[in-house]
C-alpha cells in the first residue's frame, strides 16, 4: 500500500514538472485567450485566472503555481488538471456534437475504470432522485438540458462542458446514466484528464447532495 501511494505521488510530481516545462515555453497570453482565461501582466511576472468548476483559480508565472482565489487548498492533481487545460487549450469552439468516453483515445480500454469512478456512483446516488441531482449541481453552476429524463451541463472549464444524462427507468428497467463531452474535448484535455475531472465532479455532487 505504501509503495502504491509513493508511486502515485511520484507520478503526480512528474506530471506537474512536465506541464510546468510546457507552460514555460508557451505564450501565456495566447493560452489564456485560447482557454477563455483572464490574463494579466505584473512587474513580477504573469498571471492567469482560470475558472474551474464554477470557481476562479489564480495561476502565477513563471513558477506555474495554482491557488484558489478564496484561499482554499487545492489538491495537487487538481492543480495539474488546471495547468493541463491552460497548456493544451487550442481555442476551438464547441461543435455541438456530443460523444461518450468510449470514443476518446483509449476510452474503450479504460471505460470499466471510468465507469466505476463516475457513472456507477452517480447512478447509485441519483438514479432514483433526479431532483437531488439538479439541486446538488447548482453549486457547480450547472444548466439544465433537454436530453433523457433529466440532464445537466456542467462547465468543468470555460470550454469543457460535461453533460450528465439520466434515464430514470421503470419497474422493468434500472436507471441509466451517461456522461457526454463535446467532440472537441481533446483540444483541451487528454483522456486521463477527462477521467479525473469527471471523478471530481462525481464526488462533489455526492458531497453536495448530503447538504441539500
Q: pLDDT, tens digit, for every residue of 40-77?
A: 998 888 999 999 999 999 999 999 999 998 888 899 99
- What pLDDT, on the 0 to 100 scale, is given for residue 2? 38
On the question of pLDDT at 21 being above 90, the answer is: yes
Does the structure show a pLDDT above 90 at 91?
A: yes
* Region 108-118 average pLDDT: 96
Whether 45 and 140 map to the same domain: the answer is: no
| Res 43: pLDDT | 86
Q: What is the pLDDT of residue 3?
A: 38
48: β partners? 39, 59
pLDDT of 171 > 80? The answer is no
> For residue 49, is it within any domain?
yes
According to DSSP, residue 42 is labeled E
Residue 121's contacts (CB-CB under 8 Å, 6 or more residues apart) are 202, 203, 206
Q: What is the pTM of this model?
A: 0.91
Same domain membership, residue 107 and residue 51: no
Same domain for 202 and 124?
Answer: yes
Lowest mean pLDDT among 69-73, 183-187, 191-195: 69-73
**Spatial contact of 144 and 164, defined as CB atoms under 8 Å apart:** no
* Of 61-75, 84-98, 100-114, 155-169, the least confident: 61-75
Domain boundary among 43, 67, 88: 88
Residue 135 has pLDDT above 90, yes or no: yes
Q: Which of 88, 112, 147 corresponds to the end of one domain?
A: 88
Instruction: Judge if 27 and 108 occupy the same domain.
Output: no
Q: Which residues contact 210 (CB under 8 A, 6 or more apart)?
A: none
| Structural domain contains residue 105 | yes
Q: Are residues 105 and 77 in the same domain?
A: no
C-alpha cell at 45: 511576472
Q: How high does pLDDT run on average in the chain?
A: 92
Shared domain for 121 and 57, answered yes or no, is: no
Residues 107 and 135 placed together within one structural domain of the fold: yes
Residue ending a domain, among 88, 113, 135, is 88
Please report whether residue 93 resides in a domain. Answer: no
Number of domains observed in the structure of the chain: 2
Q: What DSSP element (H or E) covers 50?
A: strand 45-52
Return the SS3 of 185.
helix
Residues 6+ apart with CB under 8 A from 110: 101, 191, 195
Residues 81 and 103 in one domain: no
113 & 204 share domain: yes
What's the domain range around 53? 2-88
Q: Tell me the percentage of the chain whose pLDDT exceeds 70.
A: 95
Let me know: does 35 contact 158? Beta carbons within 8 Å: yes
> Residue 10: what pLDDT?
53
Amino acid at each position: 500500500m505504501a509503495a502504491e501511494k509513493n508511486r502515485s505521488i511520484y507520478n503526480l510530481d512528474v506530471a506537474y514538472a512536465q506541464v510546468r516545462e510546457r507552460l514555460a515555453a508557451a505564450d501565456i497570453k495566447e493560452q489564456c485567450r485560447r482557454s477563455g482565461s483572464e490574463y494579466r501582466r505584473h512587474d513580477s511576472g504573469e498571471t492567469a485566472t482560470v475558472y474551474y468548476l464554477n470557481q476562479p483559480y489564480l495561476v502565477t508565472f513563471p513558477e506555474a503555481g495554482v491557488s484558489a482565489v478564496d484561499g482554499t487548498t487545492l489538491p495537487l492533481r487538481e492543480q495539474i488538471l488546471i495547468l493541463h487545460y491552460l497548456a493544451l487549450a487550442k481555442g476551438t469552439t464547441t461543435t455541438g456534437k456530443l460523444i461518450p468516453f468510449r470514443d476518446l483515445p483509449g476510452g474503450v480500454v479504460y471505460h470499466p475504470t471510468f465507469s466505476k469512478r463516475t457513472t456507477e456512483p452517480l447512478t447509485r446516488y441519483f438514479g432514483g432522485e433526479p431532483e437531488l441531482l439538479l439541486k446538488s449541481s447548482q453549486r457547480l453552476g450547472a444548466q439544465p438540458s433537454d436530453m433523457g429524463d433529466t440532464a445537466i451541463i456542467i462547465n468543468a472549464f470555460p470550454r469543457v462542458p460535461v453533460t450528465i444524462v439520466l434515464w430514470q427507468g421503470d419497474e422493468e428497467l434500472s436507471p441509466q446514466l451517461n456522461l457526454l463531452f463535446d467532440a472537441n474535448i481533446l483540444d483541451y484535455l487528454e483522456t486521463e484528464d477527462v477521467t479525473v475531472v469527471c471523478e471530481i465532479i462525481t464526488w462533489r455532487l455526492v458531497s453536495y447532495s448530503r447538504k441539500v
